[in-house]
Structure 1
Amino acid sequence: MDFVQQNMMWVMLAAISGGMLLLQTLRGGGDNISVADATLKLNREDALIIDVRETHEWDRGHIPNARHIALGQIGKRIQEIEKFKSRPVIVVCASGNRSSSACGTLKRAGFEQVFNLAGGIGAWSEANLPVTTKH
């Protein structure tokens, strides 16, 4: 008990971290996928990439052939991608947080294979994979 009292800040930080991880799990976000596994899904299974970043982020560079649907619009624009429900869908944002939320939305809409790109566009760029500014 003395340990808890003396380290209250650390105990609270650990509890909050655990709660956030639990919340993300309960929200039903997609499985995290590495950049290497994402490229395999793109090449072998014709995966669809959805970039949920804001327009100004998208304009600075995105994965070639990705579809841009900002996170705030994913629920309204789901009909545009319904034909891809049985294909793998890889969702990307800047770091992997917003895309996790979008993954949950897609899973609830009936998409079968939804993946969250771990590390987001930053991890993609760090792997020296192509990025484009073309629309």
Structure 2
Amino acid sequence: MTVTLASFRQAFPEFTPEKYPDGTVTYNLGLSSRLLDAVRWGELYDDGILFLTAHNLALTAPAGAVGGIGGGAVGIGVPTGIVSSKSVGPISKSIDTSVGLQDGAGLYGATSYGRRYYQLLTMFGAGGIQL
């Protein structure tokens, strides 16, 4: 299977054309395909493209593009974490966003898609290739 705009939208329907125009998705699909090595990824190459594209799009989510959650700056797939403390008057809430993060994942830990991408990436390794 080759990843297309249609197959991306089918896999991730939360990235609606209203919030993520076709051109933006297509650009990110192309970028992801150039960043990944098809030989190294083998049968999971398309999955890598899908998750990397979704991650990059989620990072650039417009404010309010939260898939059913009422507005704000948190985007689709961006982890909110576990509530670690609360207050009632004047309202306060602390969130632990470190839960589920993998050491060394860097920015890939910022979205659920990035975490899935990083999990796949570590299965193959990213080290040098012997020629």
TM bin, normalised by shorter chain, reads: under 0.3
The structure with higher relative contact order (CA 8 Å, sep 6+) is: 1
TM-score (norm 1): 0.25
In terms of fraction of residues, the more strand-rich structure is: 1
